[in-house]
Structure 1
Amino acid sequence: MSVLLSHTDEGVTTVTLNRPEQLNALSLELRAALAQEFKRLATDQATDVVILTGSGRSFSAGLDLKELGQTGLQSEGDGGPEFHDAVRNLGKPLIGAINGFAITGGFEIALMCDILIASEQAKFADTHVRMGVVPGWGLSQRLSMLVGASRAKEMSYSARYVDAHTAANWGLVNRVLAADELIPYCLELAKDIQAADRDTLQAVQRLINYSLDHGLSEGIEEEGKISRAHAKKISAAALDERRDTVMDAGRKQH
């Protein structure tokens, strides 16, 4: 059985962590498969948007502890930085469909996503301090940006589980849905994203991430540079056409 499933339909690729009996624990094999697949998707012309989810009752319970007992935390070829960089450098919108437990390393993967949508069964926890391990995939930085420093410290210091509705109240996830509504909603969201101009979408994605990585002042300066460069590519006629398309879409929604 493959540890990772990937299916593309009309420009949307759904990637599924597929070790349900192990709660999708991140074995060396699964991390390598994820890194390889995200590198492929970064240049895949058939993929506009990616949805990442898990099979069974877990998104991911984190690193495979049974395997770690045999290989150690810093085993050669563990793929940590490579895996992280492959996900973060996808260059396309990444929706995290959090179907169940997102724990420690699994929580870190969720935080790499652009948009998080959760099912009612989702639960989040950071157990690094219980394990005696310092986060290495960005959790210590990204979590506080989403929920604030105090709540991030509560989660990381106590290792308590946070349910889906609390996560939504804290701004960790955008919305909470019934389990059978999670993937259909994410597919519809992906379709809405596909309606965007691709070059502009990539520029906006880069700018939002730039601000998160570099701070507000540097982010605003970078925005000005990219905005001016992008404006030179768009003719007045094209801008009018896109404006009309946006207006038509707005009227249909109301």
Structure 2
Amino acid sequence: MKYECLLTESVQNVLVVTLNRPEKSNALNMKIRDELEKVFNSAAIDDEVRAIVLNSSGKHFSSGYDLEEVVRTNLQSFRHRILEYHYSVYGFPKPVVTVLKGFASAGGFDLALGGDYIIAERKSMLFRPEIRFGGPPLLTTLARKVGPVRALSLTLKGDPIRSSAALGLGIIDEIYEGRNILEHAVKTAFRLSQWNLKMLKILKGIANDYFLGNLYSNFQKEFDEFEIFLKDPNFLSQVQEYAKTIKQ
């Protein structure tokens, strides 16, 4: 199937899903998020797909939500299928390997964290800037990797996290400095997905739900809490001001 904002390719029963808006630093507009939701949900019930490698075209993984669209839609882009989209990625019952390059910022950071195994280039960087303009960053996504207390402290600092620091913190799993990081990621995904698919689904369910509560409910509670910001008449202007300081 052809997509407007994604490229897909099957390699040894591993589905390589590539974010394909390089001219916008793979900013996550509603279209690309809808397509990601559809791809993940379809792959979840496709026995021919044993794992997903989440890749990106261009220099950067993703700059986060498309702020031009957020402003143009009067913040409705922030609300658009926010629970369904996140749950399709994080609740995916098979292994996900993220290929991290350039920067992954805000919603791009959260998307990257959907990987069960994250392979990063040496110069890659993770960034959670939302708190700088009064926006609520997700904690559930980062807490799955480093625990809620560490997730909170990293979020409050609001500083970029280089790959070397992210490796030490346990946010990413590997820094790869070979010639072909995508090929390496596919091999890793193939290795992680060689086991019984029913067992993999159970193990991912345990990892998602047993230690921080139910994943779906956690996301739902966070997004419900975020409504107070989206209803604030000043929030749109804060996003507009922040958008002027960055280039997507």
> Given the two structures, how large is their TM-score scaled by the length of structure 2?
0.78
Q: Is the 8 A contact 2:63 2:107 kept in 1?
A: yes
CA offsets 1:151-175 (integer angstroms, 9 cap, x no match): 5344322321111111101111111
CA 1:127–1:44 in 2, change beyond 3 Å: closer, same or farther? same
Q: Secondary structure at the match of 1:91?
A: coil
Pairing 1:116-155 to 2, within 5 Å after superposition = 116-135=118-137, 139-148=138-147, 151-155=150-154
Pairing 1:16-35 to 2, within 5 Å after superposition = 16-35=18-37
Offset of residue 26 of structure 1: 0.4
Aligned to 1:11: 13
Do structure 1's residue 104 and structure 2's residue 106 form an aligned pair? Answer: yes
1:56 to 58, 66, 89: 58
Pairing 1:54-203 to 2, within 5 Å after superposition = 54-75=56-77, 78-135=80-137, 139-148=138-147, 151-178=150-177, 180-203=179-202
Q: Percent identity?
A: 29
Structure 2 residue identity aligned to 1:38: F
CA offsets 1:25-53 (integer angstroms, 9 cap, x no match): 00111111111111111112220010112
What is the alpha-carbon distance in structure 1 between the residues aligned to residue 79 and residue 32 of structure 2? 13
What is the alpha-carbon distance in structure 1 between the residues aligned to residue 11 and residue 141 of structure 2? 30
**Structure 1, gaps ≥5 residues long:** 216-254
CA 1:182–1:161 in 2, change beyond 3 Å: closer, same or farther? same
Answer with 1 or 2: which has the greater Rg. Answer: 1
Q: Is the 8 A contact 1:121 1:179 kept in 2?
A: no
What is the alpha-carbon distance in structure 1 between the residues aligned to residue 80 and residue 144 of structure 2? 27
**Structure 2, gaps ≥5 residues long:** 215-248
Offset of residue 70 of structure 1: 0.6
Q: Is the 8 A contact 2:144 2:208 kept in 1?
A: no
Structure 2 residue identity aligned to 1:186: A
Offset of residue 204 of structure 1: 1.7
CA offsets 1:98-130 (integer angstroms, 9 cap, x no match): 122110101111222212111113100111111
Q: Is the 8 A contact 2:96 2:189 kept in 1?
A: no
Q: Is the 8 A contact 2:105 2:127 kept in 1?
A: yes
Aligned to 2:211: 212
Q: Is the 8 A contact 1:102 1:125 kept in 2?
A: yes
CA 1:4–1:203 in 2, change beyond 3 Å: closer, same or farther? same
Q: Is the 8 A contact 2:26 2:60 kept in 1?
A: yes
What is the alpha-carbon distance in structure 2 between the residues aligned to residue 59 and residue 28 of structure 1? 17
What is the alpha-carbon distance in structure 2 between the residues aligned to residue 81 and residue 214 of structure 1? 16
